[in-house]
Amino acid sequence: MAKGEALSELQASVRQENDGKYFCYLYKDQKTKKVLYVGYATFADRALTPGHNEDVLKLSQEERPFDILIAGPYTSEQEARNVEAALVSAISPELNRIEQPGIKFQPLGMPANLAGRRPLPALDIHEIGKLTGGAIVVYCNLTSDLKSGKQKLTLTNFGDDVVFDNIQEYWYVRKHLQSWIDNPHSSPKMLVAVQGPYEDRVIVGAAKINELEWSSAPVAEWDKSVHRIPIERSAGLDCAELRGRRVQLKFSTGKANYIMIVDGNGLVVHGFKMKGSTGKNS
């Protein structure tokens, strides 16, 4: 399509949409069908002046035919900016040079900087024990609301405060509690929380346990057999660089079976096909 014809069509589109003025557009290589550039515009004819950076300007000067595609008009600048940012984050066009403001695609259920851990080999319970020096491993399901009324940890709501609130409250550790109080050094060193279906189960947080605070670990108002795990928030959620790692772990139903306890040698102390456990595995 000639530039003049494209300009006329785009201008007509603007008139038909009652002077709408927020657009997102892209340049696509006619031969490879690869998206070369994504941009935002307040008027449609901006798409016809590819001089946004030096490389885009060269594109218009070279004999490299490309199609111009446009979306919009949108109802606000923010809406158009979100489309632009999402496309750039997903496609990484070769001619975009700066990070666009707006809502971007990001890894599901974890911070973007940890996305590289997903392809790593999945860990089993024994490996987790050895990597942590001993751990309480808990399963945070995706559906049940928290009885405390705090925000639920989900695949799209995983800020640090939300994760901390979800993973430390409340778990069935009563049968082991007294031994940890009597001998703090025997306590697991880390709380590891996982979420997701068995086929894609991921560590959403790995926090350091304060071994000296078991004697003051609060119990839940609605169930005196479950306790809050005393963790050190200042140590963060990526202890032993575990956050974002996939795991191969199965849990059974019931409060006693939503946790596993493993020592530093990889020996399972609680959970993991417990004798007598019943119910559907999660």
pLDDT reported for residue 216:
94
124-148: pLDDT as tens digits? 999 999 999 999 999 998 877 788 8
pLDDT reported for residue 156:
84
Query: Cβ distance 194 to 206 under 8 Å?
Result: no
* 134-139 sheet: strands from edge to edge: 246-247, 201-208, 190-195, 134-139, 259-263, 268-270
Angle made by CA atoms 109, 260, 155, in degrees to the nearest 5: 10
Show pLDDT as tens, one digit a residue, over the chain (282 residues): 554 555 455 555 544 444 568 999 999 999 999 999 999 999 888 888 877 678 888 877 777 889 999 999 999 999 999 999 999 999 999 999 888 888 888 877 888 888 889 889 999 999 999 999 999 999 998 877 788 888 888 888 889 999 999 999 899 999 999 999 999 999 999 999 999 999 999 999 999 999 999 999 999 988 988 999 999 999 999 999 999 999 999 998 777 789 999 999 999 999 855 443 333 455
92-115: pLDDT as tens digits? 999 998 888 888 888 778 888 888
Domain extents in the chain: 3-91, 112-270
pTM metric for this prediction: 0.71
DSSP H helices in the chain: 3-16, 54-61, 77-91, 125-132, 160-168, 174-182
Sign (positive/negative) of CA torsion 128, 129, 134, 135?
Answer: positive
Top CATH class, 3-91: alpha beta
